[in-house]
Amino acid sequence: MASPDDPPKAEEHGGIALRQLAKWRSAAATLVEALPYILRYDGKTIVVKYGGHAMGGSVAANHFAQDLVLMKQTGIDPIVVHGGGPQIGQMLERLSIKSSFVDGLRVTDKDAIDVVEMVLTGSINKQIVSAINGAGGRAVGLSGKDGNLIIARKIDRLRKDPQTGAEERVDLGFVGDPETVNPEVLETIVGSDLIPVIAPIGVGQEGETYNINADTVAGAVASAIGAERLILLTDVTGVMDKQGNVIPKLTISDCRRLMNDGTISGGMIPKIQTCIDAVEAGVGAVVIVDGRVPHVLLIELFTETGAGTMVVAG
């Protein structure tokens, strides 16, 4: 009987060599498949929205960071906009600050906006920057308040009174929409070979702080910078048809038709509206993908099949 310490037989050496050769060939085939897409996106800007629900543990964060660094090294200029809804909710609960939502937007009073800004800019933003730097990249964190990157306006919503049916205006507090995005700030950062990581906080005309939906910020940034792609990383695999299958590609007219017939509903509606607004503003395409899939950015950008659902003009 052979001892575990005995050297491998010749045929075992051959098997190892064959398996290693197959692995190398597979890696080479992957690189060859990626080459035309690397050339296609060379020098292009891609905005990535990193949703709070898509943020997993440290392994997922490392995969995300590695993808961004590789994108940068292949000539792409990535810009990250991140969310943090679940993390904000956890902190508000820990501090016994009540929180409610209207049409998917968090009602944000004076106490809440301080917590929102602290979590987004002081915690999540720095974690993402550290992960990118740890993967060999050079990232810089900022919010929409830095350099007046995002000037915001206050928004509110109309809601029907369940008793009377009359519409009433709901004050959402310090919740805003981007009014203007200053592309020069981002162009300066990107030109310095850095990866900008943006927290979705805006500043009002009077210096007030506004909490802004991260999808909305990502769409506004992509439009202002003239991005080739906007990629929304979330916790779903894409837009589903009524049979539960992912729809790989949609036009703007398709999106509106599917919203009208109820195929696109609930929380997917504001994401699709972000897609429509961005494409109509000149962004090449918007893709909704599952950010929990390891290296999904590379799969989407550098393979023939891609991932998720792509929205294009027509």
**pLDDT score, position 252:** 95
Residue 81, CA distances (Å) to 93, 138, 146 in order = 24, 16, 14
State percent of the chain over pLDDT 70: 92
Average pLDDT of the chain is 87
Going by pLDDT thresholds of 50, 70 and 90, the confidence category of residue 12 is low
pLDDT over 50 at 193, yes or no: yes
pLDDT over 70 at 143, yes or no: yes
Residue 109 C-alpha from the chain's centroid: 26
Question: Nearest CA to 74 among 140, 142, 137, 24?
Answer: 137
pLDDT-wise least confident of 130-134, 140-144, 298-302: 298-302
Residue 129 C-alpha from the chain's centroid: 14
Span 150-186, pLDDT tens digits: 999 998 777 766 677 677 787 888 999 999 999 999 9
**pLDDT score, position 54:** 66
Sequence ranges of the domains in the chain? 41-312
Going by pLDDT thresholds of 50, 70 and 90, the confidence category of residue 10 is very low
pLDDT-wise least confident of 27-31, 68-72, 140-144, 285-289: 27-31
Cα separation of 231 and 139, whole Å?
18
**pLDDT score, position 79:** 97
Burial pattern 41-70, b for ≥16 Cβ within 10 A else e, equals beeebbbbbbbbbbbeeeebbbbbbbbbbb
Which helix or strand (DSSP H or E) is residue 186 part of?
Answer: helix 183-191
State percent of the chain over pLDDT 90: 56
Angle, helices 252-260/268-280, rounded to nearest 10 degrees: 150
Q: Which fold has domain 41-312?
A: Carbamate kinase (3.40.1160)
Span 59-112, pLDDT tens digits: 788 899 999 999 999 999 999 999 988 899 899 999 998 888 877 788 888 999
Q: Which residues pair with 169 in a beta bridge?
A: 158
Q: Tell how many helices (H) and how many strands (E) occur in the chain.
A: 10, 14
Whole-model pTM: value is: 0.86
Cα separation of 213 and 106, whole Å?
9
Contact 119, 87 (CB under 8 A): yes
pLDDT over 90 at 52, yes or no: no
pLDDT over 80 at 11, yes or no: no
Token couple for 63: 């995969």
Q: Are strands 229-234 and 45-50 parallel, antiparallel or unpaired?
A: parallel
**115-128 average pLDDT score:** 94
Cα separation of 279 and 273, whole Å?
10
Going by pLDDT thresholds of 50, 70 and 90, the confidence category of residue 210 is very high
| DSSP summary character for residue 49 | E
Cα separation of 281 and 222, whole Å?
9
**pLDDT score, position 3:** 55
Residue whose tokens read 């990157």: 149
Cα separation of 147 and 51, whole Å?
24
